[in-house]
Amino acid sequence: MSNMNAVQDHQDMLKATALLFLERHQCEHLSDDQQLLKRAVQHLVADFDVLTPTAEKMVHLAYSDLSAVSDRQRLDVLTSTPTHTVINDTGTGEVWAIPVSLIYERILNAPDNGRFRITTP
């Protein structure tokens, strides 16, 4: 029975490590989640000497956790202003007021941004 606990503990540690990697590097891959997942798998394989299928499983479990947390954030249209976007985290109660200029500078006007551009005919 203690062997099963050791395996579960190891898997929990790998999943937690994958989640930390995904959180840390998520902003580098705003338009390509597959590349982020691939890098996380490579990280687990290289740093923890696990087989690729095991690393893939742990990364996908961690990504599910990350997605669940990400889905809690909501745009608060009523308190947002023309210059600030207000975002609420329904899980923690945290609220952020983000300048629109910062969103434009860091996301929309980023050199590698192709995903968020609106094209007009």
Cβ neighbours, 10 Å, residue 10: 14
Q: Is residue 53 part of a domain?
A: yes
Domain count, the chain: 2
Q: Is residue 119 part of a domain?
A: no
Q: Are 7 and 47 in contact (CB under 8 A)?
A: no
Q: Is residue 120 part of a domain?
A: no
- Per-residue pLDDT at 1: 55
Q: Is residue 81 part of a domain?
A: yes
Cβ neighbours, 10 Å, residue 62: 23
- Same domain for 79 and 57? no
| Residue ranges making up the domain that contains 95 | 73-108
Q: What is the pLDDT of residues 2-38, one digit of tens each?
A: 777 888 898 999 999 999 999 899 888 777 789 999 9
- Same domain for 53 and 95? no
- Same domain for 61 and 83? no
Q: What is the largest CA-CA distance in the chain?
A: 65
Confidence of residue 119 (pLDDT cuts 50, 70, 90): low
- Same domain for 41 and 21? yes
Q: Are 23 and 66 in contact (CB under 8 A)?
A: yes
